[in-house]
Structure 1
Protein backbone atom coordinates (compact mmCIF):
# COMPACT_ATOMS: atom_id res chain seq x y z
CA UNK A 1 0.00 0.00 0.00
CA UNK A 2 1.59 3.24 -1.19
CA UNK A 3 0.40 6.78 -0.69
CA UNK A 4 1.73 10.24 -1.43
CA UNK A 5 1.43 13.39 0.64
CA UNK A 6 1.52 16.46 -1.58
CA UNK A 7 2.91 19.74 -0.25
CA UNK A 8 4.91 18.29 2.63
CA UNK A 9 8.18 19.72 1.28
CA UNK A 10 6.58 23.18 1.01
CA UNK A 11 5.29 22.93 4.57
CA UNK A 12 8.77 22.01 5.80
CA UNK A 13 10.20 25.00 3.90
CA UNK A 14 7.65 27.32 5.54
CA UNK A 15 8.54 26.01 8.99
CA UNK A 16 12.25 26.47 8.32
CA UNK A 17 11.67 30.02 7.08
CA UNK A 18 9.54 30.79 10.12
CA UNK A 19 12.20 29.36 12.44
CA UNK A 20 14.72 31.82 10.98
CA UNK A 21 12.48 34.89 10.72
CA UNK A 22 10.04 34.76 13.64
CA UNK A 23 12.58 35.61 16.37
CA UNK A 24 13.76 38.65 14.40
CA UNK A 25 10.19 39.84 13.77
CA UNK A 26 9.21 39.36 17.42
CA UNK A 27 12.30 41.30 18.48
CA UNK A 28 11.23 44.15 16.17
CA UNK A 29 7.70 44.00 17.59
CA UNK A 30 9.10 44.14 21.14
CA UNK A 31 11.10 47.28 20.31
CA UNK A 32 8.06 48.91 18.67
CA UNK A 33 5.85 48.11 21.66
CA UNK A 34 8.48 49.33 24.10
CA UNK A 35 8.81 52.64 22.28
CA UNK A 36 5.04 52.99 22.13
CA UNK A 37 4.72 52.29 25.86
CA UNK A 38 7.49 54.77 26.66
CA UNK A 39 5.76 57.47 24.63
CA UNK A 40 2.38 56.78 26.25
CA UNK A 41 3.71 56.82 29.81
CA UNK A 42 5.61 60.07 29.20
CA UNK A 43 2.43 61.67 27.85
CA UNK A 44 0.52 60.67 30.99
CA UNK A 45 3.20 61.73 33.48
CA UNK A 46 2.31 64.92 35.35
CA UNK A 47 4.82 67.73 35.04
CA UNK A 48 6.01 70.03 37.80
CA UNK A 49 9.72 70.36 37.14
CA UNK A 50 9.81 67.85 34.24
CA UNK A 51 12.27 65.57 36.05
CA UNK A 52 9.82 62.69 36.43
CA UNK A 53 8.65 62.85 32.82
CA UNK A 54 12.19 63.09 31.44
CA UNK A 55 13.52 60.17 33.49
CA UNK A 56 11.41 57.43 31.85
CA UNK A 57 13.69 54.94 30.11
CA UNK A 58 13.38 51.70 28.17
CA UNK A 59 15.90 48.87 28.37
CA UNK A 60 15.86 45.57 26.49
CA UNK A 61 16.26 42.55 28.74
CA UNK A 62 16.60 40.09 25.87
CA UNK A 63 15.32 39.97 22.28
CA UNK A 64 11.80 39.20 23.50
CA UNK A 65 11.32 41.51 26.48
CA UNK A 66 11.89 45.08 27.57
CA UNK A 67 11.47 47.04 30.77
CA UNK A 68 10.21 50.61 31.04
CA UNK A 69 11.34 52.25 34.26
CA UNK A 70 11.91 55.49 36.11
CA UNK A 71 14.71 56.10 38.63
CA UNK A 72 13.25 59.21 40.27
CA UNK A 73 12.76 58.23 43.93
CA UNK A 74 9.22 59.62 44.17
CA UNK A 75 7.93 57.99 40.94
CA UNK A 76 6.08 55.27 42.86
CA UNK A 77 4.35 57.89 45.03
CA UNK A 78 2.99 59.64 41.94
CA UNK A 79 2.04 56.31 40.31
CA UNK A 80 0.22 54.77 43.31
CA UNK A 81 -0.65 57.75 45.50
CA UNK A 82 0.62 58.89 48.90
CA UNK A 83 -0.25 60.52 52.18
CA UNK A 84 0.29 64.25 52.49
CA UNK A 85 3.17 65.57 54.57
CA UNK A 86 1.03 66.19 57.65
CA UNK A 87 -0.39 62.66 57.35
CA UNK A 88 -4.05 63.73 57.39
CA UNK A 89 -4.71 63.78 53.67
CA UNK A 90 -4.16 61.50 50.71
CA UNK A 91 -3.15 62.25 47.12
CA UNK A 92 -4.55 59.73 44.64
CA UNK A 93 -2.17 57.99 42.27
CA UNK A 94 -1.97 59.00 38.64
CA UNK A 95 -1.31 55.41 37.44
CA UNK A 96 0.48 56.67 34.34
CA UNK A 97 2.37 53.40 33.80
CA UNK A 98 -0.58 51.12 34.57
CA UNK A 99 -2.91 53.06 32.29
CA UNK A 100 -0.33 53.06 29.51
CA UNK A 101 0.16 49.29 29.74
CA UNK A 102 -3.61 48.74 29.79
CA UNK A 103 -4.04 50.93 26.71
CA UNK A 104 -1.26 49.15 24.87
CA UNK A 105 -2.71 45.72 25.64
CA UNK A 106 -6.08 46.70 24.19
CA UNK A 107 -4.64 48.50 21.16
CA UNK A 108 -5.93 46.97 17.94
CA UNK A 109 -2.68 47.81 16.11
CA UNK A 110 -0.80 45.39 18.36
CA UNK A 111 -3.03 42.50 17.32
CA UNK A 112 -2.98 43.53 13.66
CA UNK A 113 0.81 43.64 13.59
CA UNK A 114 1.12 40.31 15.38
CA UNK A 115 -1.33 38.73 12.93
CA UNK A 116 0.66 40.20 10.03
CA UNK A 117 3.81 38.51 11.34
CA UNK A 118 2.05 35.15 11.68
CA UNK A 119 0.32 35.34 8.31
CA UNK A 120 3.46 36.42 6.46
CA UNK A 121 5.08 33.04 7.17
CA UNK A 122 2.26 31.03 5.65
CA UNK A 123 2.28 32.76 2.29
Structure 2
Protein backbone atom coordinates (compact mmCIF):
# COMPACT_ATOMS: atom_id res chain seq x y z
CA UNK A 1 0.00 0.00 0.00
CA UNK A 2 1.34 3.42 -0.91
CA UNK A 3 0.41 6.82 0.52
CA UNK A 4 1.00 10.09 -1.25
CA UNK A 5 1.93 12.51 1.54
CA UNK A 6 1.90 15.46 -0.86
CA UNK A 7 -1.81 14.96 -1.44
CA UNK A 8 -2.42 14.65 2.31
CA UNK A 9 -0.51 17.90 2.90
CA UNK A 10 -2.51 19.64 0.18
CA UNK A 11 -5.73 18.36 1.73
CA UNK A 12 -4.58 19.61 5.15
CA UNK A 13 -3.86 23.08 3.70
CA UNK A 14 -7.32 23.23 2.14
CA UNK A 15 -8.97 22.26 5.43
CA UNK A 16 -6.94 24.87 7.29
CA UNK A 17 -7.97 27.52 4.78
CA UNK A 18 -11.63 26.62 5.31
CA UNK A 19 -11.23 26.75 9.08
CA UNK A 20 -9.43 30.13 9.06
CA UNK A 21 -11.73 32.54 7.35
CA UNK A 22 -13.63 31.07 4.49
CA UNK A 23 -16.35 29.74 6.76
CA UNK A 24 -16.87 33.17 8.35
CA UNK A 25 -17.16 34.72 4.89
CA UNK A 26 -19.49 31.92 3.85
CA UNK A 27 -21.84 32.59 6.78
CA UNK A 28 -21.95 36.33 6.08
CA UNK A 29 -22.54 35.76 2.38
CA UNK A 30 -25.28 33.23 3.17
CA UNK A 31 -27.02 35.68 5.52
CA UNK A 32 -26.88 38.38 2.85
CA UNK A 33 -28.21 36.01 0.18
CA UNK A 34 -31.16 35.03 2.38
CA UNK A 35 -31.80 38.72 3.11
CA UNK A 36 -31.77 39.51 -0.62
CA UNK A 37 -34.26 36.72 -1.28
CA UNK A 38 -36.46 37.99 1.56
CA UNK A 39 -36.32 41.53 0.20
CA UNK A 40 -37.19 40.36 -3.29
CA UNK A 41 -40.24 38.54 -2.01
CA UNK A 42 -41.44 41.26 0.36
CA UNK A 43 -40.97 44.03 -2.22
CA UNK A 44 -43.07 42.14 -4.80
CA UNK A 45 -45.73 41.51 -2.16
CA UNK A 46 -45.90 45.11 -0.90
CA UNK A 47 -48.90 46.98 -2.29
CA UNK A 48 -48.50 50.28 -4.11
CA UNK A 49 -51.20 52.73 -3.13
CA UNK A 50 -52.38 55.41 -5.53
CA UNK A 51 -51.98 57.92 -2.71
CA UNK A 52 -48.27 57.38 -2.01
CA UNK A 53 -47.06 56.15 -5.40
CA UNK A 54 -44.93 53.31 -4.04
CA UNK A 55 -43.27 54.91 -1.01
CA UNK A 56 -43.92 51.83 1.09
CA UNK A 57 -42.45 49.48 -1.54
CA UNK A 58 -39.37 51.66 -2.00
CA UNK A 59 -39.01 51.83 1.77
CA UNK A 60 -37.70 48.27 1.98
CA UNK A 61 -34.37 49.28 0.50
CA UNK A 62 -34.15 52.83 1.83
CA UNK A 63 -32.39 53.84 5.01
CA UNK A 64 -34.62 56.75 5.91
CA UNK A 65 -38.13 57.95 5.21
CA UNK A 66 -36.70 60.80 3.09
CA UNK A 67 -34.81 58.31 0.90
CA UNK A 68 -37.94 56.21 0.59
CA UNK A 69 -39.94 59.21 -0.60
CA UNK A 70 -37.24 60.36 -3.02
CA UNK A 71 -36.77 56.88 -4.50
CA UNK A 72 -33.02 56.94 -3.87
CA UNK A 73 -32.94 53.45 -2.36
CA UNK A 74 -31.02 50.53 -3.92
CA UNK A 75 -32.35 47.35 -5.48
CA UNK A 76 -32.86 44.37 -3.17
CA UNK A 77 -29.59 42.57 -3.95
CA UNK A 78 -27.45 45.74 -3.69
CA UNK A 79 -29.17 46.70 -0.48
CA UNK A 80 -28.70 43.24 1.07
CA UNK A 81 -25.00 43.35 0.18
CA UNK A 82 -24.67 46.72 1.92
CA UNK A 83 -26.18 45.44 5.19
CA UNK A 84 -23.82 44.67 8.03
CA UNK A 85 -24.00 41.19 9.51
CA UNK A 86 -23.75 40.95 13.28
CA UNK A 87 -22.42 37.76 14.83
CA UNK A 88 -23.86 36.80 18.22
CA UNK A 89 -22.25 33.53 19.29
CA UNK A 90 -23.02 31.08 16.48
CA UNK A 91 -25.83 33.24 15.06
CA UNK A 92 -25.39 35.66 12.15
CA UNK A 93 -27.99 38.42 12.12
CA UNK A 94 -28.96 41.34 9.95
CA UNK A 95 -32.05 43.53 10.02
CA UNK A 96 -34.50 43.96 7.19
CA UNK A 97 -36.80 46.84 8.04
CA UNK A 98 -39.09 49.32 6.37
CA UNK A 99 -38.69 52.79 7.93
CA UNK A 100 -41.92 54.15 6.43
CA UNK A 101 -44.13 55.15 9.37
CA UNK A 102 -47.23 53.27 8.31
CA UNK A 103 -45.53 50.02 7.27
CA UNK A 104 -46.68 48.15 10.38
CA UNK A 105 -50.30 49.15 9.74
CA UNK A 106 -50.23 47.77 6.22
CA UNK A 107 -48.48 44.62 7.48
CA UNK A 108 -50.80 43.83 10.40
CA UNK A 109 -53.96 45.80 9.62
CA UNK A 110 -55.58 48.81 11.27
CA UNK A 111 -58.85 50.45 12.15
CA UNK A 112 -60.51 52.76 9.68
CA UNK A 113 -60.33 56.51 10.27
CA UNK A 114 -63.82 56.57 11.75
CA UNK A 115 -62.92 53.61 14.01
CA UNK A 116 -65.94 51.67 12.80
CA UNK A 117 -64.20 49.18 10.54
CA UNK A 118 -60.99 47.23 10.05
CA UNK A 119 -58.56 47.19 7.15
CA UNK A 120 -57.02 43.73 6.94
CA UNK A 121 -53.26 43.40 7.04
CA UNK A 122 -51.32 42.34 3.96
CA UNK A 123 -48.67 40.35 5.90
CA UNK A 124 -46.11 40.92 3.16
CA UNK A 125 -43.14 40.50 5.54
CA UNK A 126 -44.67 37.65 7.53
CA UNK A 127 -45.50 35.55 4.48
CA UNK A 128 -42.17 36.32 2.79
CA UNK A 129 -40.18 35.43 5.92
CA UNK A 130 -42.04 32.13 6.22
CA UNK A 131 -41.27 31.29 2.59
CA UNK A 132 -37.56 32.08 3.00
CA UNK A 133 -37.46 30.00 6.21
CA UNK A 134 -38.80 27.03 4.28
CA UNK A 135 -36.36 27.52 1.40
CA UNK A 136 -33.30 28.32 3.55
CA UNK A 137 -32.09 24.74 4.18
CA UNK A 138 -31.93 23.94 0.45
CA UNK A 139 -30.32 27.30 -0.36
CA UNK A 140 -27.70 26.88 2.36
CA UNK A 141 -26.99 23.27 1.39
CA UNK A 142 -26.39 24.27 -2.23
CA UNK A 143 -24.21 27.22 -1.16
CA UNK A 144 -22.17 25.01 1.21
CA UNK A 145 -21.73 22.34 -1.46
CA UNK A 146 -20.44 24.97 -3.91
CA UNK A 147 -18.02 26.37 -1.31
CA UNK A 148 -16.63 22.92 -0.49
CA UNK A 149 -16.40 22.00 -4.17
CA UNK A 150 -14.50 25.21 -4.90
CA UNK A 151 -12.17 24.67 -1.92
CA UNK A 152 -11.27 21.11 -2.84
CA UNK A 153 -11.27 21.43 -6.64
CA UNK A 154 -9.25 24.66 -6.69
CA UNK A 155 -5.63 25.15 -5.67
TM-score by length of 2: 0.63
Match of 1:46 in 2: 47
Deviations 1:9-41 (A, max 9, x none): 788655422213111111111121111111111
- What are the within-5 Å matches in structure 2 for residues 14-53 of structure 1? 15-19=15-19, 20-48=21-49, 49-53=53-57
- CA shift, 1:105, in A, is 1.0
- Aligned pair 1:60/2:64, yes or no? no
Of Structure 1 and Structure 2, the greater helix share is in 2
- CA shift, 1:113, in A, is 2.4
Match of 1:105 in 2: 133
Alignment root-mean-square deviation, CA: 2.7
The answer (yes or no) to whether the contact 1:30–1:65 under 8 Å persists in 2 is: yes
Deviations 1:45-94 (A, max 9, x none): 01112000011025324373221111110000000111111111111111
What number of residue pairs does the alignment pair up? 118
Unaligned runs of 5+ in 2: 1-7, 62-79
Unaligned runs of 5+ in 1: 1-7
Of Structure 1 and Structure 2, the greater strand share is in 1
Match of 1:70 in 2: 98
Alpha-carbon distance change, 70 to 81 in structure 1, aligned in 2, over 3 angstroms:
same
Match of 1:89 in 2: 117
